[in-house]
Amino acid sequence: MRKISIYVAIVLAIAIAAMPAYAGGRAYVNDLLDEWVDYVELEGYEVFYTNVDRINEDHSISYYFELDPGSYMFIAEGGEDIVDIDMFVYDEDGYEIASHELDDAYPICEIEVYEFTEIEVEIAPFDFHGRTYEDFFCFVAGMNSESYYEDFGYDGYGDIDDILDYWIGWADDYGYDVIYSDSGELVRDASDYFEFELDSGDYKIYVESLYEDDDIDLWIRGEEADEIDSDERPDNYPICEFNLRRPELVEIEVDPYDYAEGNSTEYAIVIAVDGDGGILDGGFERRDYQSITDQSDYDYIQEQMAWYMDMVQDEHYEMIFDEVNSLANYESYTTRITLGRGDYIVYAEGGLGIADLDLRVYDEDGYIVAEDTMADNIPRCEFSVRHSMTFEIEIDPYEMESGWDESYYLLVVVRK
C-alpha cells in the first residue's frame, strides 16, 4: 500500500511540475492568435475562424471550409517548441492550390475564390526544437469579399445588364461556352422556372440578383423531379454545377428567399458548359409560376391570429388548437384532432390571397357534423361532442384572389 502511495505521489508531482509549462505554452500561443487576428483585420480581411490546438510530429491537422467568392488569407504559427510548420491548401478534388513550405514557424497562404467551393487547409509540423515533439499552434482564417464586388459593387451598379455582362465575361475568361443568358424579375415569393433539354456535358449555372442583401436560391432538378444540385446559401449569387451523362430534361428554379428592398428584385442568369454539351434543338421553355406567400400576407394573418387570441381570452373560451399555415390553389388541407365532451367552435380565416375559404368538420365515420361554405374567407363552425371522438377538420381554398396561387390561413379551435 505504501509503495502505491509513493508512486501516486511521484506521478502527481510530475504532473504538477508539468502544468506551468503546459499552461504557459497555451498562453503563449493564445497571445500569438490575438496578434494574428489584429494583423488579418489590418490587412482588410474579416476573420471568420480561429483555433488553438496541439499538434505533434506524427500527425497533421486539417480544416475544411465552404467558401463564397472572394479573397482569403490563412495563417498559422507554432509554439516555442516548433521550429518549422507548413501549410497546404487543397481544392474539393484534392489538388493543391496553395502552399507555404518555407523554413519558418508561421506559414501564410492567400487564395482567390471565384465561385462557391469547398477547400481543405492542412497544417503539418516539419521540425521541433528537440525538447519535445508536441506543442500548441494557432490558426486564423480571414475573408475579403470586396475584391469580388468592387468592379460592379452595389453602390456603383448601373443595372442588371452589368451583372449579366460580368458573368458572361467570367465564363468566357475561364474557357466555358455560354449557351444561355437572360434577365428577369422575381416578385413576392414567386419562383421563375426554366426547362432545358440538355445534351450530356459539364454545366455551370450562375444567378445573381440586383442587390447584395437579397437572398436568392437556385435549384436544379432532373426529369423525375429529383434534385441534381442546389445552392441555398444566404447570398444573392447562387451557383450550381453538375454533370449529365446523357441528354436529359432539366428544370431550373430561381427561388427568392428574401428581398433587400420591397417585395421584388431583378436577376441575371447565365448557363455555361465546360467542353462538349449544349441545348438540344427546341429544348427550351421558360415558365412563370405564382406561388405567393409573401411577408405582407404572413404579417396580415399573424395580426388576425392576435385578434382571435384576444377574443378567446375575452370570451373565457378554452383554447384547444391553433395554427398558421399556407394553402395552394385547389389543394385542401385536413388536420385530425381528438375532442372530449363539450361545445366547440372552429374558426378559420384566409390571408390576402384567398377570396373564398370553406370549412368542414367530419366525425370518425366520415359524416359532416358542421360546415361553412359561404362566399367569404372567414368560415366558422359550431358543434357539440357527447363523448371523446376524433374529428377531421378540412380547410378548402375555394377561390383565390387574382394573381395568387398560394396564401396563408389561420385555424383556431376552442371549447365554450
Give the number of domains in the chain. 3
225: left (phi over 0), alpha (psi -120 to 50) or beta: left
Write down the pLDDT at residue 271.
93
Q: Same structural domain for residues 259 and 144?
A: no
Residue 332 contacts residue 393 (beta carbons within 8 Å): no
Which band of pLDDT confidence, cut at 50, 70 and 90, is reported for residue 131?
low
Task: Inform me whether the pLDDT recorded for 148 exceeds 50.
Answer: no
Bigger pLDDT: 377 or 44? Answer: 377
Q: Same structural domain for residues 338 and 277?
A: no
Q: Of 148, 168, 190, at which residue does a domain stop?
A: 148
Bigger pLDDT: 389 or 21? Answer: 389
The DSSP result for 278-307, as a single string, is -EEEEEEEEEE------HHHHHHHHHHHHH
Average pLDDT, the chain: 83
Lowest-confidence range among 100-109, 207-216, 241-250, 259-268?
A: 259-268
Q: Same structural domain for residues 373 and 263?
A: no
CB burial class (10 A; 0-12, 13-18, 19+) of residue 268?
buried
Q: Same structural domain for residues 141 and 172?
A: no
Which band of pLDDT confidence, cut at 50, 70 and 90, is reported for residue 272?
very high
Q: Same structural domain for residues 187 and 237?
A: yes
Domain range spanning residue 165? Answer: 154-288
Write down the pLDDT at residue 27.
85
Write down the pLDDT at residue 67.
85
Closest C-alpha among 48, 53, 81, 50 to residue 66: 48
Contacts with 146 (C-beta within 8 Å, 6 or more apart), sequence order: 44
Q: Same structural domain for residues 10 and 84?
A: yes
Q: Same structural domain for residues 274 and 198?
A: yes
Bigger pLDDT: 154 or 358? Answer: 358
pTM: 0.41
